[in-house]
Amino acid sequence: MLSIVGLVVVMAAVFGVFVLHGGDLAPVIHAAPAELASIGGAAIGAMLVGNSMNVIKGVASGFGKVFGGPKYKKQDYLDTIFLVSRLMKILRVDGPVALESHVENPESSAIFGEYPKLLKDHTLVHLITDTVRLMVISSGTLNAYAVEEVMDNGLKAHHHHAMEPVTALGAMAGACPALGIVACVLGVVKTMGSIDQPPAVLGALIGSALVGTFMGVLLAYGVIEPISFRLKQVIEEDSEIYVVVKQIIVATLHGHPQPLVIEAARSGIAHHNQPDFGEVFDGLRGK
């Protein structure tokens, strides 16, 4: 919602101030459709040339993330702590073999089934199940530092791929001013072909050409680049939930007491989503 408000403010500030100072929007409105089609079409075409289909799909879905905001809230972080902590409790009390049914088929697991929203996040589920599966196979003899390294590598790979749409949008924003100049030059070429026309006609043609440069710069710095920044923020905030999983598993393997495991889980969560220590501790006592 805030992103939509921001875009409205950008347009109001640019065009509203222009009108208030006596500007006439008619030439801009007349030229804008053609210039936008030229610049936007070229920018989208360049994006298609330079990226895979997965990245293009990521860009398309990224707009929903920008305007919808992060999908994980405080309760989701609590649920993640409860889910992973319950699995670690089974590991300590009943041994690694007792976890096998949960990690091999999480969709039918009674524990995973209590958290349907988390179960839909395949990255989260695989991070948990793949790591716990290592514990099952090794009969609980894994080195905590080795597990942490493996999980860090997995998180880095996921973050790299998650950020590819941000990079693509950034490249698109960088290209728009230059594409605006291209559109402007073509407008000048068109103007030079009508050099024998009266000044009023030439003025309109030159004005239309300049709209191309204007639209390219406005799209780049007023629309696309802010959207890419916001998408990066949303992705980074949602990725905190994977760090929670890592912290609980690694702290448990180190043999830390439960209060320290809880603090390790809470430490990587942004303050507005961070559950209180008491909420976590009381919730775990009932699990």
Predicted confidence (pLDDT) at residue 90 exceeds the cutoff of 80: yes
Residue 286 has pLDDT above 90, yes or no: no
User: Average pLDDT for residues 162-178, to the nearest whole number?
Assistant: 95
Does 7 fall in a domain? no
Residue 287 predicted with pLDDT over 60? no
| Contact (CB, 8 A) for 77 and 274 | yes
Reported as a single tens digit per residue, the pLDDT across 35-69 is: 889 999 999 999 999 999 999 999 999 998 999 99
**R_g (Cα) of the chain, nearest Å:** 27
246 falls within a domain = yes
Under DSSP, the state recorded for 276 is: P
Does residue 1 fall inside a structural domain?
no
Backbone angles phi, psi at 120, to 5 degrees: -75, -15
What are the tens digits of pLDDT across the range 247-270? 999 999 888 988 898 899 998 899
Those residues whose C-beta lies under 8 Å from the C-beta of residue 36, and which sit 6 or more positions away, are 215, 219
Statement: residue 226 has pLDDT above 80: yes
The residue count of the chain comes to 287
**Is residue 11 included in any domain, yes or no?**
no
Separation of alpha carbons 63 and 92, rounded Å = 43
Burial-class residue 262 by CB neighbours within 10 Å (0-12, 13-18, 19+). Answer: buried
pTM of the model: 0.87
Distance of CA 21 to CAs 24, 92, 211, 217, Å?
9, 72, 18, 21
DSSP state of 275: P
DSSP, collapsed to helix, strand or coil, labels residue 241 as: helix
Is the CA virtual torsion 98, 99, 105, 109 positive or negative?
Answer: positive
Burial class (CB in 10 A: 0-12, 13-18, 19+), 72: buried
User: Is residue 18 in a domain?
Assistant: no
Is 173 a residue whose pLDDT tops 90?
Answer: yes
Asked, for residue 8, whether it belongs to a domain, the answer is no
Instruction: Tell me the C-alpha distance between 58 and 67, whole Å.
Output: 14
- Decide if 232 is inside a domain: yes
The total domain count for the chain is: 1
Per-residue tokens: 255? 């043999």
Residue 273 domain-assigned (yes or no): yes
Quote the domain boundaries for residue 173. 26-287
Q: Are 191 and 205 in contact (CB under 8 A)?
A: yes
Q: pLDDT tens across 13-22, in order?
A: 988 888 888 8
**Cα 266 to chain center, whole Å?**
22
The 10s digit of each residue's pLDDT in 118-166 is 999 999 999 999 998 888 888 667 788 999 999 999 999 999 999 999 9
